[in-house]
Amino acid sequence: MNFGFGQAHAKAHLLGEHSVVYGYPAIIAPLLSLSTKAEVIDSDKTLIETDNFSGTMFQLNYRFSGIYSLLTELLNFFEEPDLTFKLHIKSNIPSKKGLGSSAAYAVAIVKAFCDYFDYHYSDEEVFKIAQISENKNHGRSSGGDTYAVMAEGPIFFDTNKDATILKLDTKAYIVVADSGTAGLTSQAVQLVADNYEKDPETFGNYFKQMGAIAEKGREEIIADDLKDFGRLMTENQNLLAKLGVSTPYLERLIKIALNNGALGAKLTGGGLGGSIVALTDTEAKAAEIKIALNKAGAPESWISKI
């Protein structure tokens, strides 16, 4: 019996979501406690099973066209277009929360098929194939999520220069909290594109400022200057609000994190719902912020060391 396994984890944007779609850099941290695992097993009939779907390729195309396109591409890549298989996917990454669940699905599936065919892949190869589904899901995708869900450390993602893992010696912790509302990245990306089209000068200027914040943020996180890095996160949040992707739910949680001693806080990912991320320099402070956010109604939250 032939078998393949692949996995990927969640991510949180610390700086630079949205502006990254327009060519500016972003800093993205892995959330290793949340992951997606995919298994491919021989079978005489194709069956795809996830936490919220069970069906054939045909049914998959109807519900999740991004994953359908990805599987079709993978079977062509391995020159086995008629292969029948069972694909089982298990994930504890909440979807529509800005935490990279769609990218983690795509990467876990690509890695599982590479393993099934005993194919030794590079990150670039996995990235190229996984982006097929990401581009379909997001409408327009920077690729930052796809690299971040594979990377073991925080990345500086520059659409021109690709992803560099930041070698950090930092005391930083992040608290990521679900706002309890869903945010669809494709809608957020579309909203920002519409706003940009209506007023390219103003929105282009916001992207530029966000790019400068991410560049500065790289220096500060490398220097472990967390007060300044936190300030940049909050500045980035103000610009995200100007782009139109923040919500009162997100802003309430951001305020609670800051009032409880976070060094900075912002929405993370596409916005319009989803999650926030707050920065601290001790694990104890992170635990306090987590409790405050949960008390304020965040249904789930996670602490991660950077």
> C-beta of 293: minimal distance to ligand MEV in Å?
20
Please give the Cα distance from 89 to 199 (Å, whole number).
42
Residue closer to ligand MEV (CB basis): 82 or 160 = 160
Residue closer to ligand MEV (CB basis): 230 or 270 = 270
Residue 214's Cβ-count burial label (10 Å; 0-12, 13-18, 19+) is: buried
> C-beta of 28: minimal distance to ligand MEV in Å?
8
> C-beta of 174: minimal distance to ligand MEV in Å?
15
The residue sitting closest to ligand MEV, measured at its beta carbon, is: 142
Please give the Cα distance from 147 to 164 (Å, whole number).
10
3-state secondary structure of 52: coil
DSSP type of residue 30: E
Question: Catalytic residue among 145, 169, 199, 281, which?
Answer: 145
Give the interface with ligand MEV as residue ranges (CB under 6 A): 17-18, 20-21, 98, 138, 141-142, 144-145, 185, 188-189, 269-270
At 166, which amino acid appears? L
Tokens of 233: 């996160």
Query: Does the active-site annotation cover 145?
Result: yes
Residue closer to ligand MEV (CB basis): 26 or 87 = 26
3-state secondary structure of 32: strand
Residue closer to ligand MEV (CB basis): 133 or 260 = 133
Q: Are 28 and 148 in contact (CB under 8 A)?
A: yes
> C-beta of 67: minimal distance to ligand MEV in Å?
17
Q: Which residues are catalytic?
A: 145
